Copies of this chain bind each other. A is one copy, B any other.
């Protein structure tokens, strides 16, 4: 009971982020008004400005938070000492699992880059690049160990991330395939694509 009666700030702050994430993903940042967000959480539009200095900062914060969580989650479970093929498998499972559980955040992180102002865009591109480098490092180590057959690790990185991230555009929990089945299929395609026998 850290908060006073009638004071709802922390809950409203959480609701705001959740509502904005959902609305931005569904309709796009530019198409969503502050009034819509306010209505979704049951406050007046003016009250939103207690929690964010402006609409742009809200978008930038949602995107940066998502990328930070992504990078932290990987750091927490990565095993840098494992063999390249095992690290690749771990990455594929991690990427699909993490992204499938956050379809709205992923959608925003990929679709709303163009609505970020320059400073915010620069930060996000740095974070994306750091995540791409995670996979590229794995591919490089596999090539160095003679386990992977990849002419250009940068190109393969972009290709594989695009393939894996695409899952979020059509995956729905409870659909035709379980996440485990999808992971298996994608893993075998990724293995084939990098030339693992």
Contact = CB atoms under 8 A, between A and B. Distances in A.
Interface of A: 26-31, 111, 114-115, 151-152, 155-156, 158-163, 165-167, 169-170, 177, 181-182, 184-186, 188-195
A28 B151 contact: no
A114 B163 contact: no
Nearest to A189: B193
A115 B159 contact: no
Contacts of A189: 156, 159, 193-194
Contacts of A194: 189, 192
A32 to B, nearest CB: 8
A188 B156 CA distance: 11
24 contacts: A27-B114, A28-B28, A28-B30, A28-B115, A29-B30, A31-B115, A111-B111, A151-B184, A151-B188, A152-B177, A152-B181, A152-B185, A155-B185, A156-B185, A158-B169, A159-B166, A159-B167, A159-B189, A162-B162, A162-B166, A191-B192, A192-B193, A192-B194, A193-B193
Given A27-B114, A111-B111, A160 B159 contact: no
B27 A185 contact: no
A100 to B, nearest CB: 13
